Every structure is written in structure tokens, then in C-alpha cells.
Homo-oligomer: A and B are copies of this chain.
Amino acid sequence: MTDEGRRNVRDLRRANRARLLRQLYFHGPLSRQDLIQATGLSSASVSNVVADLLDAGLVVEAGAVESEGGRPRILLRVDTSCFEVIGIDVGETRIRLERFDLGLGELAALDLPVVGGSLDQEAVVTAIAAGLAELSADAAAPLLGVGIGVPGIVQHQPYAVVHGQTVGWDAFPLEERLREHTALPLFIDNGATTMAQAEMWFGAGRDADSAVFLLLGSGAGASVIADGAPFRGSTTSAGEWGHLNVQYQGRLCRCGARGCLEAYVGAEAVIARHAEAAQTAGAAGIDAADEEEALRLILATAEQSGPAGDAARSVLDETAVRIGVGIANVVNFLNPQRVIIGGWAGLALAPVLLPQIREVVREHALRLPYSLTSIDLGALGADAVARGAATLPVARLLEAGA
């Protein structure tokens, strides 16, 4: 009903090995004594399991702690060079592939532009296949697997199928298609989820066990972490924060409904709203090559005085309000420990809008959950999605303990 596995003594061993490995992975070099403390296992068992892990080559000794009269403790750490992983960020405008060591230290990277601007399924498959071949060619250790973050809902049935309403993917069987090009284990998940995973492991979510990550890019998504694990709905499509309705009969959203948050706060929406506002104000529009530049220009315009600046400011003010309301909804409904804003547009907008956003949240959220939440920027840069994707094979390793 709830948890599978863990029936016989062998599973028990696996679970304990996983527990130790996890502790070592996340809490740096530790001595066996520390592990006894942290896991509650007996010293005999820790010795035993550690011997296993040393044999397997997953863990190595890492010096010793200075003695204070007795035998010094030997430190242990995960051997981050014993495996490598590949993480892929399939974005709406480019595909980024990175190769990491087991500790998620970056070893190599590759940026592939998507031709024509539209995310053609065939093009994506061949691009990923080519990138994988190139990146895995000069790996110095066995590749544990490939994690892929995609812009859409991922269903495992049992092979990953992607529904990307915004990029025109309808039940795109990505895993099966890639199977033709690689034998590596594939782990496919929503990009917002992988970003959240990266922030939870190495960024703004460290040491929290419940958080909500908002991904503001062209559109707006989210990923909910509850009790340290991503919350997936019944069909793993939870987290569609951008399609919360915040205004009945409001702006038309690209999903077809009216009044979605995404119709106000995604980069695409901000740019569209600015174009309208500028026209109304009789100010000049923005002329930019891509969305990132357009957003930068809007932010710059808002610094100016005059009608153009007023128009930009009013657009940004409303953006802050809508984001704030969207966050207040999340705070009230899910009561997370932290709310983290990420995604390229979020990272561009939030530094300017954060004070306003916080104020709007305060006005719209219930006192108790609001007082127990923090609202901050993501700590990882633009490669958080790829890095988070790479955590997927690593997470599997940590769970299996082998």
C-alpha cells in the first residue's frame, strides 16, 4: 500500500547501506563514530556496512581527525570520481548538456541551440543523441545515467512520455526515442522539478524539508517539495503554479483558459503586457532579439522617468502583485518552510521586485503560515535545471546503496 520493499533481512541491509551512503554524501567527510551517531546503528554494523562501501569503491578514506589521546578517527567520504552523470536541460530555446562527477562537480558542458526556435521532437532527439555521444566520449569514469529536465508534464507508463502543452508536445515518447541512441539509464522529469532538486541538494533549499520552488521563465511553473521529496500528483503533473487562476475572466493564457497566473507573470506575458502599456502611453515599444533581452530592456526602461518609464513601472508593479498573490496562495494552501524563486526570468525580475512581492504576500497570506515562511531567490545559477537533472541518477544510487 505505502512502501514497497523492505521485507527481508537483505532489504534491511540495503536500506541501512543507503542510509549511511546518504549521510556521507550530504554531510561531508564523516568518521565511523559520526555515522553511529547519525544513523543510530551499532558500531559493529557501521563497521560492517562501511567495509561493504569501501569494497564497492563508493567510499574512500579521507584522512583522519586529530587524536585527543586515543586512536584517531578515520574520515570517510563518497568517492565522487567513481562515477559520472550527465544532466540535460531541455529549454524552450536551447538544450544544455553537462557532465558531472558523482558530487555534482561540473566536468564538461555543451550548449545546443534549437533551430527555428520551435522545439521539434525529431530535432530534440537527434540533438540529445549527438550531445550524449560527444559528452560521454571523454568520461573518465563509468556513467551512472542521464537525467533530463523537460518543459512539460512527464508520465512514466512505464517509459517516460512528455506532455508539453506550451511547446507542442503531445505524448512525446522521449524515453523510447532516446533508447534507440543510448544504453545509459535515463531519468526524465519536469524541468521545474529538477531545478528544485538541485536547489534542495546544493542551493537555497539545503536543510529544509518542505519548500516550493517557482520557476519563472517564458512561462511559470513550480515544484513542491514535501518531507524532502518532490510532491507529485496522482499522475506526476502537480506543480502547475502558472495555471492557478488569479483573475476571473482575466487575460487569455496560452493554455486556453482566462486569468491564469502565467498570463501575467511569465516573461512572455510581461513583455506582451509591456507592449500594450507602452502603446497606450504613446511610448516607444521594446525592440529586442529575444525574450531575455526584452526583459532586460523593460527593467532598464523602468529606471527612466517620463511616460516610457511609467509604463514599464506599472507593468512591473502588476507583475509583483500577481507573483505575490500567487505566492500567497501557495503559502496558505501548502504552508511551505521556504518559497524559492528561480528560472531565468525570476532571477532577473525578483532582485528588483522582491520587496514589493513580500509585501503583497504579507497582505494576502494568513498570519501564521506567512510568519513561518521565507521568500528568497534561488541560489543556483542558470544551470540549476541541468544540475538537478543530473541528481536523478545519483538519487537512485543513494537509494539503492549500490
Contact = CB atoms under 8 A, between A and B. Distances in A.
A368 B163 contact: yes
Nearest to A326: B245
Given A153-B368, A329-B244, A367-B165, A226 B231 contact: yes
Given A238-B335, A329-B244, A368-B235, A12 B16 contact: no
Given A41-B7, A231-B226, A364 B333 contact: no
Contact of A6 (B15, B23, B369): B15
A42 B222 CA distance: 43
A239 interface: yes
Nearest to A236: B335
Contact of A333 (B40, B208, B238, B258): B238
B335 A366 contact: no
Chain A interface category by residue count: 35 or more
Interface string A239-283: 111011111100000010111000000000000000000000000
A356 interface: no
A312 to B, nearest CB: 20
Given A235-B368, A240-B332, A329-B329, A248 B321 contact: yes
Given A12-B9, A231-B226, A233-B369, A257 B335 contact: no
Interface in A48-72: none
A16 to B, nearest CB: 6
Nearest to A373: B234
Interface of A: 1-3, 6-9, 12, 15-16, 19, 22-23, 26, 39-41, 153, 163, 165, 208-210, 222, 226-229, 231-241, 243-248, 255, 257-259, 321-322, 325, 328-329, 332-337, 363-369, 372
Given A7-B12, A231-B334, 8 more contacts: A7-B39, A153-B368, A210-B234, A233-B337, A235-B335, A243-B365, A246-B246, A247-B248
